[in-house]
Structure 1
Amino acid sequence: MMSHNTDADARAAQAVVTHHRQLAAALTGHVTDLVTAAETGGLRQVWQHRDALLGWLHTELLPHAYAEENALYPAAAARPEGRLLVDGMLDEHRTIAALVAELEETSAPVAAAAAARALQAVFATHLAKENDLVVPLLVAAAEVSLADLLDGMHDLIGGGGQEGCGGHCGCGGDVPGDRSVTVSV
C-alpha cells in the first residue's frame, strides 16, 4: 500500500494538468502549422510540418500515453468507479494511435491536415477526462498516492525520451531538457 500525502498529491495533480496543457499547446502548434501549409498549397512545407508533427508524436505524446497506461491507469482501474473510465481512456489511446498511423500513411495534404485536426480533437477530449476525472479519482483514493505513481514515470518511458522534463513536471525526475514541452507525467 502506498502512503498518501495530500500536499504531494495536490502538487502532483497540478503538475499533471500543467503538463497536459503543455502537450495540448505543442500539439496545437504542430497542427496549426500543418493545416496552414495544406491551405496554402506548399507541398514541401506540408510534408515538413507533417514529419515534425510525427516526430513529436513519437517522442512526446505516444510515450506519455504509454507511461500513463502503466503508471496511472492500473490504479484508477482498480477502483470500481474507475474501471469503465479507464477502459474508455484506453480506447481513446488506440484511436490516437490509429490517427497517428493514418497521418503517417497519407499521401494527400488535405488528408494529413484532416487526420492531424481529428487527432487534436480526440486528444483535447481525452485530456479533459484525465484532468477532470482520472486525476481527481486518484487524488481522492486514500490508498493511492498520485505523487508515488508519477515518481516512476521516467523509468516507464526510458528516462524522459529525447527531451526530458528538466524537473519541471513534478514527476521527481531530473533529466535535463531545453524545451518547455516534456515527455513525462
Structure 2
Amino acid sequence: MTITETQAAEAMLAHHQSLLENVGVRVEGLSRAVAAGGAYEAAAADLVAYLADEVLPHALAEEHTIYPTAGRQDGLAGTVAEMVAEHRTLAAGVEGLAAADDGREAATQGEEIGALFAAHVARENDILLPALLADEGVDLPQVLVQMHRLTEAAQQTPLVEDAVAPDHEAVMLARFLEAATDLAHAGHGDRACRLVASVWATLRVPRPDLA
C-alpha cells in the first residue's frame, strides 16, 4: 500500500511515541522497585531487554537511513553528528546501569537513560522530521521502508529481498543483541548490559557520509 509523505512522517512519530512510552514504563518500574527497597534486578533486566530489542536496532537503522538524509540538509549536519553521539552516550548509560553498585545508583542511571532518550526523540521529531517532510527531494515513505527493514535485519536476519542491505556491523550487532536479550530474559541483566554497551561502543564509529 502506497502512503503519502505526511503519513510516513506520522508513522515515524507514532513509533517514536511507542518507544518513549515503553522506555518510560520500564524506567519507572525500576525506580519503583528501588524505592520499595526490594529486588530491582528483574526491572533492570526488563529495561535492558527492551533497549536491546527495540531502541538500539532502531538507532542503528536511523544511522543508515534518516540521519544521512538529514545530514545533507542545509544546517543539519552538526545536529545529526550530535545525535549520533547521543546514541553512544545512551550506550554508555546502559553500561553505567550494568556497573551500578546498588539499587539507588541503578535507578539514577535508568532515569538518566530515560531523560536522554526523551530529549533525543524530541529533537528528531521537532527538527529532523519537519525538515525532511518539507524537502520535496526526499522520499520519506521510502526512507520509512528502509528503516523498518534495517531494524528487522538488526533484530532477526541480515538480508531482506529488495531491502537496502545492512553492512557487516549491522549483522554483527544483530547477533550480539540476540545473545544479550537471551541473557536479560534469563535474569542476567548485568551481563546483558555489559555485552550490549561494549559491542555498541565498539561498532559505533562516525559514518563517512556524516563527516
TM-score after normalising by structure 1: 0.79
- Distance, in Å, in 2 between the alignment partners of 1:98 and 1:8 is 37
Residue of structure 2 equivalent to 1:146 = 140
Deviations 1:80-99 (A, max 9, x none): 22111101111211111111
- Distance, in Å, in 1 between the alignment partners of 2:97 and 2:4 is 39
Deviations 1:130-176 (A, max 9, x none): 001000111111211111111112332234737xxxxxxxxxxxxxx
Residue of structure 1 equivalent to 2:13 = 17
Residue of structure 2 equivalent to 1:166 = none
What does 1:53-132 align with in structure 2 at a 5 Å threshold? 53-132=47-126
Q: CA deviation at 1:128?
A: 0.8
Give the aligned residue type for 1:155. Answer: R
Give the aligned residue type for 1:11. Answer: Q
1:76–1:83: 8 Å Cα contact kept in structure 2? yes
Asked if residue 48 in structure 1 is aligned to residue 35 in structure 2, the reply is no
- Distance, in Å, in 2 between the alignment partners of 1:157 and 1:105 is 28
Give the helix-richer structure, 1 or 2: 2
Q: Secondary structure at the match of 2:116?
A: helix
1:154–1:160: 8 Å Cα contact kept in structure 2? no
TM-score after normalising by structure 2: 0.70
Q: Secondary structure at the match of 1:127?
A: helix
1:38–1:113: 8 Å Cα contact kept in structure 2? yes
Deviations 1:88-127 (A, max 9, x none): 1112111111111111222311111001100111111111
Give the aligned residue type for 2:116. Answer: V
Q: Secondary structure at the match of 1:81?
A: coil
| Structure 2: gaps (5+ residues) | 157-211
Give the aligned residue type for 1:123. Answer: F
- Distance, in Å, in 2 between the alignment partners of 1:78 and 1:138 is 10
Runs ≥4 residues deviating over 6 A: none
| Structure 1: gaps (5+ residues) | 163-185
Paired-residue identity, % = 35
Residue of structure 2 equivalent to 1:38 = 34
